[in-house]
Amino acid sequence: MNQLVKREQRVENILLSLKKLSYLSRSQIQALHDLGGERNAQKILKSMGEYLNSFREGETVYYLSKEGRERIGASRVNKKTTTAQHYIMRNTLYIGYQSPETWKNEIRFSVEGIATVICDATFTHGKQRYIIEVDYMQKMNANKAKIQKYKKLIDAGVFENVLPKFVWITTTEYRRKQLQKLSKGLDVQVFTISEFN
């Protein structure tokens, strides 16, 4: 494959990752697309300037520009936002679980009259369903309410015979302990973001 075709394919793949994941930090793009060292990654991303928007939040965070959306047929418009860290944390788990093909963001589970909940992401591995939740700036009461809804959905048989595995990512050790306590009785794993840095 000649260099130009390879380069265009890489551009396309990076844009498709941003379409799927909304916001990615430079190091996340580097990890997903094997861009080598930091300087090389920055050079590649700079050369894609027309297709990308970015802002700094710790490190540079990228999202699709109008031209980037048009090139790959993405309809969702993202903007510079204070909630980007929520997406970055979710994407940390996506990369940590080796980019599962079955990964879907913001999926609704519901039983009419009992409970409705929208998870941050979900994927399946074999018969096991994983439900991804991000605890970035939420009030712990909101997390508690969400966990109680999941328990109701489990009791209502939404997940059939295989109970889901809940995977949370949070900001501090204190919050991890709170989430573990609230999730008593569920198959749960709680990570802190620092475990991935």
Rounded to whole angstroms, the Cα distance separating 131 from 120 reads 8
Comparing CA positions, the residue from 104, 111, 120 lying closest to residue 158 is 111
Q: What is the 3-state secondary structure (H, E, C) of 82-124?
A: CCHHHHHHHHHHHHHCCCCCCCEECCEEEECCCEEEECCEEEE
Residues 108, 74, single domain; the answer is no
Domain boundary among 78, 113, 137: 78
Token pair 């993202």 is found at 78
Q: What is the distance of C-alpha 1 from the center of its chain?
A: 32
The CA-CA-CA angle for residues 151, 156, 160, to 5°, reads 95
Comparing CA positions, the residue from 68, 10, 20 lying closest to residue 40 is 10
Rounded to whole angstroms, the Cα distance separating 23 from 114 reads 33
Within the chain, where are the H helices?
A: 3-21, 26-33, 38-47, 66-72, 84-96, 140-155, 173-182
Residues 6+ apart with CB under 8 A from 149: 115, 116, 117
Residue 173 maps to a domain = yes
For the beta sheet containing 52-57, the strands, ordered from the edge strand earlier in sequence to the opposite edge, are 24-25, 59-64, 52-57
Residue 98's pLDDT is what? Answer: 94
What letters, b where the CB count within 10 A reaches 16 and e where it falls short, cover 125-139?
A: eeeebbbbbbbbebe
Residue 64 maps to a domain = yes
Residues 8, 63, single domain; the answer is yes
Residues 175, 123, single domain; the answer is yes
44: CATH: 1.10.10.10
**Amino acid code (one letter) for 22:** S
Domain total in the chain: 2
Residues 192, 112, single domain; the answer is yes
**Amino acid code (one letter) for 85:** Q
Residue 95 maps to a domain = no
pTM: 0.91
pLDDT tens over the chain, length 197 residues: 688 888 899 999 999 999 999 999 999 999 999 998 999 999 999 999 999 999 998 899 999 999 999 999 999 899 988 889 999 999 999 999 999 999 999 999 999 889 999 999 999 999 999 999 999 988 999 999 999 999 999 999 998 878 999 999 999 999 999 999 999 999 999 999 999 87
Rounded to whole angstroms, the Cα distance separating 114 from 112 reads 6
Domain boundary among 32, 63, 78: 78
pLDDT tens-digit series, residues 134-161: 999 889 999 999 999 999 999 999 988 7
Token pair 């079955």 is found at 102
- Domain encompassing residue 69: 3-78
